[in-house]
Amino acid sequence: MKVKRKIGNKVCVLAFFLYLCVLLMSYIISDKIINNREVFSNSRVEAYLNTALNDLGHDFKTEQEKLKWLSFYVASTGFNQKSFLLASDELLDGVKGSSNFQFAPNGVVTVTNPHVSDKRAYIDLFSDQNRKEDALYAKKHRTMYVSGPLNLYQGGLAFILRNPVFSLHRTHKFLGFVIYVSDISDSKIFSRISELSQYGYTVSLTTQYKQQAKIQILSTVDLKKDHYLFSINKTFYNSTWTMKIYSSNKMNDYQDLVLYITLLIDICIGIGLLLTIKFFEHYKNIHNERLLDHLTGLGNRKALELELSREFESKQDFSFVYIDLNDFKFVNDTYGHEIGDSLLRQFSARLNRYIWSHNLGMAFRVGGDEFNLIVAAKFDEESIRRGLDDLCKLPFQLDDVLYNLTISCGYAKRYPSDETLEQVIRRADDDMYRMKAIKKRPMTDAFSNTI
């Protein structure tokens, strides 16, 4: 039989375990918040940039198909301004902002559709230092070439798609370019990147075409307040796009607030745990006051009744032992109750050590010189009697004398046939009185030499 733990101990252990769980969760939350200040999900941010560039690329494919058709039509109709305007008018649906088609015979822009009034839009591609290299490349390789994003002379930011046009005759003479200027300065494609602000992050998006200066596409960053986290680079056609992620000051305040709240919760739970432990210590003290014998520290009659009922109802085998101190009344009458109490305490201490050292069961003092044991079924009667007799081999010191105590023990085992607890108790009681009659002795044998 295992000794039952007190309910207060169980609850205190459980409360402490729960507090450790809360501390662990707080650590995980705090760690994630602190890490978020340094690293926001790279893959998540990269997905935003990829989506924006993919959408832009999808638009490019549509524009490239339009430009190829326009180039073929113009080449097949004599490569003249009239055929260019007639065909490009059919393609203006969906053209927004400063986007336009351009007609450049021999590389010189002469016509735009929709019309651009700024004269700076009409340039010689082979003479302009910022356009010459790309124009020569497209002409040499007879392929459409994407430049940009570039700042337009007439204002705006755009990709420039140049498609060289050659004669359809055998000579394959270079005729010029058909161009599409795709304005992205007010494109809604990149507005989805600014959605990161709803997560407490600010964004700076720049692009650089070849070795030209970097161009700011969008920025929601306050450099005085926001905290830089990391950047992502992506190549799109012939340009490099860089997106820098910052933790906003508002987000930092929010994260600090979460940390403070988490810390406050930990403190409150810690205080609650201490109060819980104090409460159950108080409860345990009251419980002990009710179930402990104040003189010896053993369980009292109430505790015995509770344990016996529990054991009997569990249907498990156990043994019940009745112990009586022989001639205790003589000690009380001769030396007084104070000496008698001393004998009871000394015997109880030996009995308790014996019980715990052998994991025997539980000991109780039910009144006067009467003690009871509830013993695990694995211990047989002979070993129990021998162990209890050994407790009295050494005399007990009573003031200035050594007293040789003897005890009478009654033993009863719980049987399956026992219908009531009283049957077990009665057998142990009868056996104790039988042993008491056997151990009757002259009182002169009870004392050793005076100390």
Show the tokens assigned to 117: 């009034």
pLDDT digits (tens, 9 = 90+) for 210-250: 888 888 888 888 877 777 888 888 888 889 989 888 876 55
Contacts of 174 (CB under 8 A, 6+ apart): 106, 139, 164, 165, 166, 167
Cα dist. 260→12, 274, 387 in Å? 27, 21, 61
- In the predicted model, is pLDDT for residue 37 greater than 50? no
What is the domain range of residue 347? Answer: 301-446
Is residue 85 located within the same domain as residue 228?
Answer: yes
Planar angle of CA 305, 311, 313, nearest 5 degrees: 100
Instruction: Write down the pLDDT at residue 189.
Output: 64
pLDDT at 12: 61
Checking if the pLDDT of 286 tops 60, the result is: no
- Inter-CA distances, 254 with 209, 314, 315, Å: 38, 57, 60
Predicted local distance difference test score (pLDDT) of residue 352: 93
25 falls in which pLDDT band (50, 70, 90)? confident
Rounded percentage of the chain residues whose pLDDT exceeds 90: 39
Residue 288, in any domain of the structure: no
Q: Is the pLDDT of residue 17 over 80?
A: no
Answer whether residue 27 shows pLDDT above 80. Answer: no
Q: pLDDT by residue (tens digit) across 114-136?
A: 999 999 999 999 999 989 999 99
Mean pLDDT, residues 12-37 taken together: 65
Same domain, yes or no: 111 and 213: yes
Shortest CA distance to 176 belongs to which of 244, 109, 122? 109
* Interval 360-387 mean pLDDT: 92
Residues 145 and 50 in one domain: yes
- Residue 269 domain-assigned (yes or no): no
From CA 215, how far away is CA 99, in angstroms rounded? 18
- Rounded to a whole number of angstroms, the CA Rg of the chain reads 49
Domain identity same for 65 and 206: yes
What average pLDDT does the structure give for the chain? 83
pLDDT above 50: residue 60:
yes
Identify whether residues 235 and 307 lie together within a single domain: no
Of 182, 215, 247, at which residue does a domain stop?
247
Please check whether residue 30 lies inside any domain of the structure: no
C-alpha span between 443 and 270 (Å, rounded): 61
| Among the listed residues 381, 376, 382, 383, the one whose alpha carbon sits nearest the alpha carbon of residue 361 | 376
Do 311 and 237 have their domain in common? no
Residues 319 and 442 in one domain: yes
Which residue, among 157, 191, 148, 147, has the nearest Cα to 51 in the 3D structure?
191
Number of domains the chain is built from: 2
Query: 342 and 235 share a domain?
Result: no
Q: Report pLDDT for 39.
A: 47
Q: Is residue 78 part of a domain?
A: yes
pLDDT digits (tens, 9 = 90+) for 303-350: 999 899 988 888 788 999 999 999 899 899 988 999 999 999 999 999
Domain assignment present for 206: yes
What's the pLDDT score for residue 396? 93
The answer to whether 345 and 298 have CB atoms below 8 angstroms apart is no
Are residues 356 and 209 part of one domain?
no
Q: What is the DSSP string of 166-201?
A: E-SSTT--EEEEEEEEEE-TT-SGGGGGGGGGGGTE
Residues 122 and 228 in one domain: yes
The share of the chain scoring above pLDDT 70, in percent, equals: 82
Answer whether residue 384 shows pLDDT above 50.
yes
